[in-house]
């Protein structure tokens, strides 16, 4: 079967406004849904489906060129389907881990396939390495954001703003999960809202402002990303311009290796924290994603040997020209969104860089999220004639 043209058939329903459609899925999207096609050829994003299975679905919303649907019946289950280990995921209440119904091996394969598809579409021929899987499938999160209201602590119900209380969450590190009563106690007299909690290396769980922002949810994933960045930098000390530096995830290890770092970050409080944790770096507060820069308001980072950037999901498109103006021989791009990553990598190639390699990392098991580290080298000019 052509994976881009799954088989489809419709089934009659007594209520024409609630017609069911039977589709065969192909692969997972860059999100919680599996991909299928309707009889008319339109794409269907199907929540609750696994790749390579036949399911009956109900269409929830029609967006013209595509629809969103959810599974009403599994007719031919995929070999890689499993019962979600978390009861909240099984009940369909929590949308935080929408890939729990896939085996861990299939999750890894789907994330790697996503990166390979995007690479082939935007940068044919670029080297994509097999996905790294540095984490256990559960118990890996040292940091989480909870909603709280009237003494209840939990997550938002999928697709709504409603809060449901949790007593357990299997993706949390066991010590963070065990601290849920302390989180409830900490927010007891606070107005409704969100609260962060983080497990620190000393074993203490800190709640609220003391929970470190801009930290990877997993220490092991952070270590893997740091190792990839350091491996792509020269061994000799060089000048590095770091963009979207956060509180120093990469800054501190680069300084430890002897590199000179100019770190740029947009959040005032985070820059203050960065200056405390990495006093040897030069830290600058700059809105790197300002969209209305004019000819006299360009980003300037000075000269650099290397640029390291770790932008939010929006990517770093406003920074691409400024990165090229640094003259950096190496650009290391850490991304949490494949779509904006490859858009920006195309911009870097147009600005004189070749993408040497792309390394996906599964830093968020049970979710569709994937981290990627791309290494770019400045293209060597060739003389003509």
Identify the CATH number of the domain defined by range 105-134+217-378: 3.40.50.150
pLDDT at 19: 72
Looking up tokens 């590199």, which residue turns up?
A: 259
Beta bridge partners of 322: none
pLDDT at 8: 40
- Do the strands 306-309 and 371-378 form a parallel or antiparallel pair, or are they unpaired? unpaired
- Predicted local confidence at residue 18, as pLDDT: 67
Residue 95 near residue 158 (C-beta atoms within 8 A): yes
Q: Phi-psi region for residue 92, left (φ > 0), alpha (ψ -120 to 50) or beta? A: left
Known catalytic residue at 376:
no
Report the pLDDT value the prediction gives residue 189, as an integer from 0 to 100: 87
Domain locations in the chain as residue ranges: 8-81, 105-134+217-378, 143-210
203 torsion bin: left (phi>0), alpha (psi -120 to 50), beta (else): left
Looking at the DSSP assignment, which residues form a beta bridge with residue 149?
Answer: 152
For the chain, the maximum distance between any two Cα atoms, rounded to a whole number of angstroms, is: 76
Q: What is the CATH number of domain 8-81?
A: 2.40.50.140
Domains 8-81 and 143-210 belong to one CATH topology: yes
Which of 227-261 are b and which e, b meaning 16 or more Cβ less than 10 Å from the residue's Cβ?
ebbbebbeeeebebbbbbbbbbbbbbbbbebebbb
CATH match of 143-210 with 2.40.50.1070: yes
State the Rg of the chain over Cα.
Answer: 23
Which value, to the nearest 10 degrees, does the dihedral of the CA atoms of residues 104, 108, 111, 113 take? -130
pTM, 2 dp: 0.91
**Residues present in the chain in total:** 385
- The CA distance from 79 to 166, in Å, is 31
pLDDT of amino acid 356: 97
pLDDT the model gives residue 290: 83
CA atoms within 13 A on the CB side of 64: 0
> Which is the catalytic residue, given 86, 169, 319, 336?
336
Q: Running along the chain, 385 residues long, what does each successive block of 10 average in pLDDT?
A: 39 50 97 95 96 96 94 97 92 89 98 98 97 97 93 88 90 96 91 93 90 81 98 97 96 98 94 94 94 69 97 96 97 97 98 98 97 96 51
């Amino acid at each position: 079967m052509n994976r881009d043209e799954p088989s489809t058939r419709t089934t009659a329903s007594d209520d024409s406004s609630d017609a069911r459609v039977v589709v065969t899925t192909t692969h997972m999207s860059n999100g919680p849904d599996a991909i299928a096609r309707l009889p008319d050829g339109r794409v269907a994003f199907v929540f609750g489906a696994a790749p390579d299975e036949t399911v009956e679905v109900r269409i929830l919303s029609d967006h013209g060129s595509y629809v969103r649907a959810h599974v009403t019946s599994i007719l031919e289950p995929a070999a890689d389907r499993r019962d979600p280990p978390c009861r909240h995921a099984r009940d369909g209440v929590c949308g935080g881990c929408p890939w729990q119904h896939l085996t861990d091996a299939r999750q890894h394969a789907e994330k790697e396939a996503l990166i390979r598809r995007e690479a082939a579409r935007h940068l044919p021929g670029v080297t994509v390495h097999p996905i790294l899987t540095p984490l256990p499938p559960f118990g890996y999160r040292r940091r989480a954001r909870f909603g709280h209201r009237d003494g209840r602590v939990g997550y938002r119900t999928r697709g709504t703003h409603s809060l449901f209380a949790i007593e357990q969450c299997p993706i949390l590190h066991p010590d963070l999960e065990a601290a849920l009563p302390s989180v409830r106690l900490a927010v007891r007299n606070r107005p409704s809202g969100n609260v962060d909690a983080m497990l620190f290396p000393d074993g203490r769980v800190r709640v609220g402002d003391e929970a470190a922002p801009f930290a990877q949810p997993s220490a092991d994933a952070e270590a893997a990303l740091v190792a990839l960045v350091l491996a792509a930098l020269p061994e000799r000390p060089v000048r590095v311009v770091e963009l979207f530096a956060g509180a120093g995830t990469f800054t501190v290890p680069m300084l430890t290796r002897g590199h000179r770092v100019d770190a740029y970050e947009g959040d005032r409080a985070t820059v203050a924290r960065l200056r405390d944790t990495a006093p040897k770096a030069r830290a600058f507060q700059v809105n790197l994603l300002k969209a209305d820069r004019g000819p006299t308001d360009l980003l300037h980072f000075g000269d650099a040997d290397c640029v390291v950037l770790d932008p939010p999901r929006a990517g770093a498109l406003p920074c691409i020209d400024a990165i090229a103006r640094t003259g950096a021989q190496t650009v290391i791009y850490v991304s949490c969104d494949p779509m904006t990553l490859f858009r920006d990598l195309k911009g870097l190639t147009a600005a004189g860089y070749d993408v040497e390699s792309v390394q996906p990392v599964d830093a968020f098991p049970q979710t569709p999220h994937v981290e990627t580290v791309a290494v770019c080298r400045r293209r060597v000019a060739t003389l003509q004639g």
